[in-house]
Amino acid sequence: MHNTLSSRRFALTSAGLAGLTLGGTATAELINFTVHQDQYIGEDSWQLVNAAGDTIASMFIDGTYIYVGTSQSSTFPWSFSPWGSGGVSASGYRTSFTMELAAGDYSVFMQDSWGDGWVWSDASGLDAFCVSGNIIGGSDCFAFTTGASASGTFTVVPAPGALALLGLGGLASRKRRR
């Protein structure tokens, strides 16, 4: 009888630990980003900042080099390409990338040193910085149609499955205490 009881305790402890471990890792969500900048990319820069004030992704020009980096560039690929109907003379540039973000608030800051927003030809500036994934509303685009700067915020929410796993871990640990 003693062996059966200790086996049950071990099973509950293992289930609770597995649930909490899975729940803890499942709170990070894959979020997709698409940035549409105008043809004059040398005037443009942007930053993605978490609630703690840390820059976790950014784009800027230094001389003749364009830098696009994220804190997860080695994990998730990013792409950069001209876009629009202008053929060789593109309307602008598109950067796409994915990041795994924890639940919480994030801010996007966009700058244009010329002060005319990210508008040129087909680039309306209405979809300057787009975010999609498990965020409040499912997706959002931040406009940058005029001026030297624009910003926006979005909130990443945990997937319902992650919350269920956390609850399961809590129930398993509660049952073990009785």
pLDDT tens readout for residues 40-88: 888 999 999 999 999 999 998 877 777 777 778 767 878 888 887 655 5
pLDDT tens readout for residues 153-164: 999 999 876 555
Contacts 24+ apart (CB under 8 A), 69-75: 70/97, 70/99, 71/99, 72/99, 72/100, 75/100
* Cβ pair 128, 119 in contact under 8 A: no
CB atoms within 10 A of CB 20: 17
Task: Domain ranges for the chain, please list them.
Answer: 2-26+161-177, 28-157
Through-space distance between the first and last CA atoms of the chain, rounded to whole angstroms: 18
Element (H, E) at 104: strand 104-112
**What is the C-alpha to C-alpha distance for residues 149 and 145, in angstroms, rounded to an integer?**
10
> What proportion of the chain, given as a percentage, has pLDDT over 90?
44
Q: What's the whole-number mean pLDDT along residues 21-46? A: 79
46-50, 108-112, 116-120, 165-169: segment of lowest average pLDDT: 165-169
* Cβ pair 166, 148 in contact under 8 A: no
pTM: 0.73
Q: What's the whole-number mean pLDDT along residues 6-16? A: 44
For the domain covering 28-157, report its CATH number: 2.60.40
* Cβ pair 143, 125 in contact under 8 A: yes
